[in-house]
Amino acid sequence: MNTRRNFIRTVGASSALMFLPGTMLPFGYNRWDIPEEWVEAEISKGKIKGMRSAGVNIFKGIPYAGKVSGDRRFRRPGPLVAWTGVRDTYELGPPAIQGPRRGEPAPAEDCLFLNVWTPANDGKKRPVMFYSHGGGFVIGSGGSGGQDGANLARNFDVVVVQTNHRLGMLGFMYLDELGGAEYAGSGNMGLLDITEGLKWVNENIHVFGGDPNNVMIFGESGGGAKTSCLYAMPEASPFFNKASIESGPGVRMMTKDMAAKNTELVLNEFGFTKNNWKKLLEVPTDEILRVQAKIPFVPPFQEKKNTGGLTEPAVGGFGPVVDGIVLPNHPFDPTAPNISKDKPLMVGWNEDEYTFFAWERKDTEFATLDFDGLKSRLEPQFGADTPKVIEAYKKARPEASPADIFVAVSSIVMMGLGSVEIAQRKAKEDGAPVYLYNFGYKSEKLIPGTDYPMGTPHAMDISFKFNNEQPPKDGEPDRPSFFGGGRPERFTASHNMAAYWTGFAKTGTPHAEDLPKWPEYNLNSRPTMRIDTKCEVIDDRFSQELAMWREIGRLP
């Protein structure tokens, strides 16, 4: 199995399962969001009403840009029209077109809404944490329960913002060569929507007690890849100051030629030609989803020797396009983007990323592998290099079982090699610092059908970094976390991760009281912060394994 390719193909579908809200009231209420009073604010387009709950002002479903349906499909948003009176903003806005989402409104083409959590609308200049959701480039929303921003705002005195933005075909259909100037940037509309959200923050966040001159962008999985692109985009550059790429290293994106071939594939599926491509503007959204489902969720990036990380994608899929304008270059290839040279960066991954995909795919076979079986599972991806891969991991981890080695190899290929590549290239730039991490808190929950624990799967970091792993209150029983398990130690690990992230948001240096100092990554000692109930700096982590990956050309 080609782990990288299969991961990229399935991340969109599986990410629907990443963000399972808890018990919900009307759209977007978490069980702790009980309104104590209504709060009004005046922003650039009119007055809004949100709610105050347990020390946090919450505004949901704020429109940040205009129409993207009808004649605006595949184009930049229409102007946002001001409103009169007071607009209610205490329920989520609709997410982008996709399947139904539990606890959220029905998806809609006009989906440009955002949510804000703040300790107070008091004029204070708090750091702003602007999050891009996961789900590859085809699903997800800024209203998912696990990434609720109330605890970060409440416990760490920051302002949290999350957007809905166009996804899939509607967000990343490359029509520049067919539509001309009117459709310039069409292959990156999803990213340009996020940029509109950043512009909204720059104009309005002071009303919510946030500092428009201290904005951190961050995101996990597909949100990490979006963040990688934003870090390299001239239009986004003026509106953020630092970034964090989490389990979603976007080293390379689609080229124009690949995107054009993908467009041709879509036209063929609909029975359209290049001469009548504008019929796409009339296609109902359910038909768009039907055709979209026939195409890989995001570009199935292939590994190429001597380049490493996310490299040349095959034709097919929807994702950002290196169009030379909106996204001038690949985000981190061949170098880190000079446009963000002076912006601090965090990048990293979870230690056991693959166990999420084993759970999602119902892969129980990996847990019973012997070494012959391990060789058979890895050979389709690594070919003649398979013995070198296995021997390197057996030598570096003499106590590891074949299943352990399979999880470790799959996890680092999915998310680790690209993260290390980004850290290396940012460090070589000799500008603002880069900080490399591994999240390592171990969940005791077993993968169904196996005796193998989840460990630290893909997406488990979401609820941890948002400080949503919290002790029960008011006599409630402790409800085990969906991935994180039921051990009370998870509350400490969640506090630690949230503390480092908010420390980075405040100063550009990940720091927290009573936690170890986190040194910037360099090409000599190569320090990595391992985040758990106890955090520790590990120099040149995975050195033996990474040496092997370099030897076989999977990492520069």
- Cα 13 to Cα 16, 140, 181, 513, distances in angstroms: 6, 10, 33, 39
Task: Determine the distance from the C-alpha atom of residue 85 to the mean position of all C-alpha atoms in its chain, rounded to a whole number.
Answer: 36
- For β-strands 46-53 and 56-63, DSSP reports them as antiparallel
Q: Tell me the C-alpha distance between 350 and 376, whole Å.
A: 25
Q: Is 260 helix (H, G, I), strand (E, B) or coil?
A: helix
> Could you count the other beta carbons within 10 Å of the beta carbon of residue 239?
21
> Nearest Cα to 7, choosing from 415, 363, 284?
415
Phi (first) and psi of residue 462, to 5 degrees: -60, -55
Torsion angle defined by CA atoms of residues 396, 400, 406 and 407, in that order, rounded to the nearest 10 degrees: -100
Q: In sequence order, which residues have a C-beta less than 8 Å from that of residue 125 and are 6 or more positions away?
A: 206, 209, 210, 211, 213, 214
Contact 203, 335 (CB under 8 A): no
The per-residue pLDDT for range 96-146, each reduced to its tens digit, is 999 999 999 999 999 999 999 999 999 999 999 999 999 999 999 999 989
User: Which residue ranges form the domains of the chain, and what is each CATH number?
Assistant: 3-254+325-343 (3.40.50.1820), 348-551 (3.40.50.1820)
> Nearest Cα to 532, choosing from 455, 418, 470?
455
Q: Is 40 helix (H, G, I), strand (E, B) or coil?
A: strand
pTM of the model: 0.93
Would you write out the chain's pLDDT as a tens digit for each of its 556 residues? 333 333 333 333 333 333 333 333 344 445 456 778 999 999 999 999 999 999 999 999 999 999 999 999 999 999 999 999 999 999 999 999 999 999 999 999 999 999 999 999 999 999 999 999 999 999 999 999 899 999 999 999 999 999 999 999 999 999 999 999 999 999 999 999 999 999 999 999 999 999 999 999 999 999 999 999 999 999 999 999 999 999 999 999 999 999 999 999 999 999 999 999 999 999 999 999 999 998 876 554 444 443 333 344 555 689 999 999 999 999 999 999 999 999 999 999 999 999 999 999 999 999 999 999 999 999 999 999 999 999 999 999 999 999 999 999 999 999 999 999 999 999 999 999 999 999 999 999 999 999 999 999 999 999 999 999 999 988 788 888 889 999 999 999 999 999 999 999 999 999 999 999 999 999 999 999 999 999 999 999 999 999 999 999 999 9
The per-residue pLDDT for range 535-545, each reduced to its tens digit, is 999 999 999 99
Q: Tell me the C-alpha distance between 280 and 256, whole Å.
A: 20
Amino acid at 181: A
Q: In sequence order, which residues have a C-beta less than 8 Å from that of residue 395 and are 6 or more positions away?
A: 544
The per-residue pLDDT for range 500-517, each reduced to its tens digit, is 999 999 999 999 999 999
Phi-psi region of 419 (alpha: psi -120 to 50; beta: other; left: phi over 0): alpha
Note the pLDDT of residue 316: 65
Burial readout 4-15 (b: 16 or more C-beta within 10 A, e: otherwise): bbbbbbbbbbbb
